[in-house]
Amino acid sequence: MKLSFDIRARLLSSLVLIIGIVCCPRPNLRAGIFALLGLLIIARLLGVGAATLAKRVGAVAVFALPIAAAAPLAHLSSLAAAADPGLPARIAACYRVYWPLAAVIAAKSLLSALTLAIAVANTPAPELLHGLEHLKLPRVFIMLAAFMTRFTGLFAAQLARMRQALASRAPNLGPWRRTVVYGRLGGNLFVRAYERGERVHAAMLSRGYTGSLPWPNHPRWQIKDTAALAFATLMAAAIALM
């Protein structure tokens, strides 16, 4: 059985869960495992594929894990007061003492990313934007999100075309040379994607677009949505207080 909820319920529930995860005061393995298992069960019930989740959490991990890994180094100066022989030893000492900080940042960010990925998986961008609009988010934010959604696809399509053109004329580029060429193409790519974005925008305007993407199913809040939000609140409280 695959459950479905109003996009507003999904967004609000994920927000509550993320607050619960972030508010967990200290390194707590039990709370982490509880949150992870709970989220995986929810993903299963919503019919969200593991590959989709892995891809989306992976995209966040690329940024979150280096930050988490570097976090103990923030305490380098506090350890410097102690009589340590040199920098490598101080860094090692930092990680010996503050590794839980790195683990907590990594766990919280990945669990938060997982929560959001579950909430918005299987949700077309227009429905998501429509949900945000119904949650009374500022219009400028919705507009920015809408344009980013559109621009990302255009950017990817433009990049694919340029890669094709490059591969057809320079099939034997080495990795370093390829990196240099891509670096030079960056600006060009941006301009091309921007121009295409302008043309798409003109096509949208000519079909009556006035700033909000039309979505056929006007969200209807139902009892099951309230139940989902209540469940998320309880789960968030449990994670935070465990």
Partner 1 sequence: MHCNKNAIELRGLSYAYPDGTAALDNLSVTIRHTERVALLGPNGAGKSTLIGHLNGITQAQTGTVLIDDEPITPATLKSVRERVGIVFQDPDDMLFMTTIYDDVAFGPRNMGLTADTVDSRVQQTLAAVGLDALLQKPGMHLSFGQKKRAALASVLSMQPAILVLDEPTSNLDPRARRAMIDFLKQLDVTLLLATHDLDLAWELTSRALVLDAGHLVADGPTHDLMRDADLMRTHGLDTPPLATRP
Residues that bind partner 1 (CB under 8 A): 124-126, 150, 153, 157, 196, 199-200, 202-210, 214-217
Based on CB atoms, which residue is closest to partner 1, 28 or 212? 212
Contact between residue 123 and residue 7 where contact means Cβ atoms under 8 Å apart: yes
Q: For residues 87 and 102, what is the distance between their CA atoms, to the nearest angstrom?
A: 19
Tell me how far, at minimum, the Cβ of 46 lies from partner 1, in Å: 19
Q: Distance of CA 78 to CAs 94, 96, 117, 176, 186, Å?
A: 9, 14, 37, 40, 42
Tell me how far, at minimum, the Cβ of 199 lies from partner 1, in Å: 4
Q: What are the structure tokens assigned to 88, written together?
A: 């490598």
Based on CB atoms, which residue is closest to partner 1, 4 or 78? 4
Cα maximum dimension of the chain: 71
Contact between residue 119 and residue 10 where contact means Cβ atoms under 8 Å apart: yes
Q: For residues 241 and 31, what is the distance between their CA atoms, to the nearest angstrom?
A: 9
Based on CB atoms, which residue is closest to partner 1, 181 or 204? 204
Tell me how far, at minimum, the Cβ of 5 lies from partner 1, in Å: 20
Based on CB atoms, which residue is closest to partner 1, 172 or 206? 206
Tell me how far, at minimum, the Cβ of 139 lies from partner 1, in Å: 17
Contact between residue 53 and residue 117 where contact means Cβ atoms under 8 Å apart: yes
Tell me how far, at minimum, the Cβ of 148 lies from partner 1, in Å: 13
Based on CB atoms, which residue is closest to partner 1, 55 or 177? 55
Contact between residue 21 and residue 238 where contact means Cβ atoms under 8 Å apart: no
Q: Kindly give the residue spans of alpha helices, DSSP state H, lying in 82-174.
A: 87-120, 125-134, 139-169
Q: For residues 145 and 4, what is the distance between their CA atoms, to the nearest angstrom?
A: 23
Tell me how far, at minimum, the Cβ of 147 lies from partner 1, in Å: 11
Based on CB atoms, which residue is closest to partner 1, 132 or 235? 132
End-to-end CA distance of the chain: 30
